[in-house]
Amino acid sequence: MGGFDLTWLKEEVLGWRNQGVVTYLVFTTLVALTLVWFFKRQKMVWLVDKIPGPKGLPLLGNILHLNVDPAERFKRIIKISEYGEVARIWIGQNPVCFLSSARAVEVILRSQRHLDKSINYRFLHPWLGKSLLTSSGSHWQSRRKLLTPAFHFKILEEFVGVMNNQGSKLAQKLRRKADGTPFNIYNDIVLCVLDILCETAMGHSLKAQDSSGLAYVDAVNKMSGIIPKRAVRPWLRSNFLFRLLGPAKEYDTWLQTLHDMSNSTIKARKKANREKMTEDSLHQNGKKQRLAFLDLLLQYSEQNPEFSDEEVRKEVDTFMFAGHDTTTAGINWFLYNMGCYQDIQARVQEELDDIFCGTDRPATMEDLRNMKYTENCIKENLRLYPPVPFYSRDLHEDITIGKYRIPAGTTIKNVIFMLHRDPAQFPNPEVFDPDRFLPEIAAKRHPYAYVPFSAGPRNCIGQKFAMMEMKIVTSSILRKFKVESVKSPKDLELLGELILRCKGGNILKLTPREGIVGSAAQERGTQTL
């Protein structure tokens, strides 16, 4: 008589036991990982809260403190920087450290390791993709190496003619407004800069100064404005919520307009190359014709198949985005300062009169080199009103700045506006003094005290282009007009988002300068006669 077969029962028991072991291992692993995360998080909070800064609310941090209109937000950011050379806030659960001294920003800017831009740059990806401005790591390094030759001074020299032509067109337009009546010059400058950039970047004549209603101009302005809004409004940061709550339909239209312009221009230039039209046009009348930035990128593309049309478009769009707003702001602030300080404006105009002898001829590279006092004024202008008032980086490892240990996961915001007003580096920092940039004085300052174009490995690749553009456009105006600002510096309301602007624009008065030349120019004219 056989007994009961209990093998199945043993197997069930063993199965339950094995499942229990697995469950136990999974549970203990999750608990261990949670504890590791918790203690790591607590360490971060402990380190960050040792840094001075305003008190925040649980979970929200200081986000409500900064959820105000742009002018008030800028004032509050500056106020936070006054806690010290290293200050901190919490944006929700994310720590942000503000740096505002030369020795503090040097730790970040000179580093070969802390090169990743802030996560907010992801809002530019639909427009610019992973380009020189927005990429990081090996992708950024290879792109920087590839593009650096495109900004060689010999290449830049080819763009002087475009800058002169557009600067002259701007001066002609302004003549109609130069009757001493106050007006906002900001939009006139932005259209001129867009024409310069479009022609030098794409070889395409946008003619923005002839028609301010162009769709491309409007799309650039609208896209540039939506980025800072997404950065400071939590409900728009998520792509899903942005498409649900934001101006998604308009955004798609602007994006399509920008990409259509770039893609159609790339297609046309490539077709010309295939038909050897470009080669033929390079030697018209025995003179080499200027190559646009796009032409140089297409040459790289032929030698590097991985550099596709899409990659070419990203870099052209980046050049347009990064170059138009920053240079527009720099030129506007320069004219504003010239209008505030009439004695300094007179010295600049005397230098320009001596260089150009009262003529209407275009500027040359030699002329630009001779604008020494003008250049010092531009530098002092960029010190007081840096077009980009903040640069942000994300930390992927702990760093030490002064007596503070700043943990990985923190966003670093280099507050350039305050850095340039450090009285230890710039005595009487609110005073406009171009002599600060005399070589013998500048040499005594900390090398990271003045960084309007950033510094170190990720400095602005187009800074020489920008300086050329600012010199040519501003000299085109000051050679012909006297400038007077309506507002004093203490009455300005600053808007510090992506770009430092003045609320209400740049209100100036212009009056003609016909017949006024410098004394040296008069002497040379007499000798010629």
Kindly give the residue spans of alpha helices, DSSP state H, lying in 304-396. Answer: 309-340, 342-356, 365-370, 372-384
pLDDT of residue 524: 43
pLDDT of residue 293: 84
Question: pLDDT tens-digit profile of 95-150?
Answer: 999 999 999 999 999 998 888 888 878 888 888 888 988 888 888 888 888 888 88
**Phi and psi at residue 202, to the nearest 5°:** -115, -5
Kindly give the residue spans of alpha helices, DSSP state H, lying in 234-308. Answer: 234-237, 239-245, 248-274, 277-281, 293-303
pLDDT of residue 8: 59
pLDDT of residue 450: 98
Domain assignment of residue 280, yes or no: yes
pLDDT of residue 521: 43
The answer on pLDDT for 468 being more than 80 is yes
Query: To the nearest 10°, the Cα dihedral for 413, 86, 82, 426?
Result: -90
Residue 34's pLDDT band, with cuts at 50, 70 and 90, is confident
Q: Report how far residue 391's alpha carbon sits from residue 418's, in angstroms, rounded to the nearest whole number.
A: 12
pLDDT of residue 212: 65
Residues 6 or more apart whose CB falls under 8 angstroms from that of 257 comprise: 215, 216, 219
Domain assignment of residue 246, yes or no: yes
Question: pLDDT tens-digit profile of 305-320?
Answer: 878 889 989 998 888 8
The answer on pLDDT for 516 being more than 60 is no
Residue 291's pLDDT band, with cuts at 50, 70 and 90, is low
pLDDT of residue 434: 98
Question: pLDDT tens-digit profile of 325-370?
Answer: 899 999 999 999 999 999 999 999 999 999 999 899 999 999 999 9
pTM: 0.87
pLDDT of residue 84: 93
Supply the angle between the helices 309-340 and 215-232 in degrees, to the nearest 10.
80
Least confident stretch, 93-97, 112-116, 319-323, 515-519: 515-519
- Mean pLDDT score across all residues of the chain: 86
Split into its structural domains, the chain has a count of 1
Averaged over 174-181, what is the pLDDT? 95
pLDDT of residue 241: 86
Residue 248's pLDDT band, with cuts at 50, 70 and 90, is confident
Domain assignment of residue 520, yes or no: yes
Domain assignment of residue 75, yes or no: no
The answer on pLDDT for 525 being more than 50 is no
Averaged over 381-387, what is the pLDDT? 97
Domain assignment of residue 33, yes or no: no
Question: pLDDT tens-digit profile of 36-89?
Answer: 766 777 888 899 899 999 998 888 888 888 888 888 989 999 999 999 999 999
The answer on pLDDT for 173 being more than 60 is yes
**Phi and psi at residue 162, to the nearest 5°:** -60, -45
Strands 411-415 and 94-99: parallel
The answer on pLDDT for 522 being more than 50 is no
In 464-484, which positions are buried (b, 16+ CB within 10 angstroms) versus exposed (e)?
A: ebbbbbbbbbbbbbbbbbbbb
How far apart, in Å, are the Cα atoms of 342 and each of 261, 352, 444, 470, 519?
Answer: 42, 15, 28, 19, 18
pLDDT of residue 232: 67
pLDDT of residue 6: 61
Stated as kind and residue range, the H or E segment containing 393 is: strand 390-394
Averaged over 489-514, what is the pLDDT? 91
Stated as kind and residue range, the H or E segment containing 160 is: helix 160-175
Domain assignment of residue 446, yes or no: no
Instruction: Name the token pair of 257.
Output: 């307009």
Q: Supply the CATH number for residue 161's domain.
A: 1.10.630.10
How far apart, in Å, are the Cα atoms of 60 and each of 64, 113, 133, 318, 431?
Answer: 7, 30, 30, 34, 39
**Phi and psi at residue 265, to the nearest 5°:** -70, -40
Question: pLDDT tens-digit profile of 387-401?
Answer: 999 989 999 999 999
pLDDT of residue 469: 97
Domain assignment of residue 505, yes or no: yes
pLDDT of residue 33: 74
Residues 6 or more apart whose CB falls under 8 angstroms from that of 319 comprise: 197, 201, 293, 462
Domain assignment of residue 249, yes or no: yes
Containing domain of residue 203, as a range?
130-388+452-528
pLDDT of residue 10: 60
Averaged over 415-438, what is the pLDDT? 97
> DSSP class of residue 123?
G
Question: pLDDT tens-digit profile of 8-27?
Answer: 556 666 666 666 666 767 77
Question: pLDDT tens-digit profile of 200-243?
Answer: 888 878 888 987 667 888 888 788 778 777 776 777 878 888 88
The answer on pLDDT for 465 being more than 80 is yes
**Helix (H), strand (E), coil (C) string for 262-280:** HHHHHHHHHHHHHCCHHHH
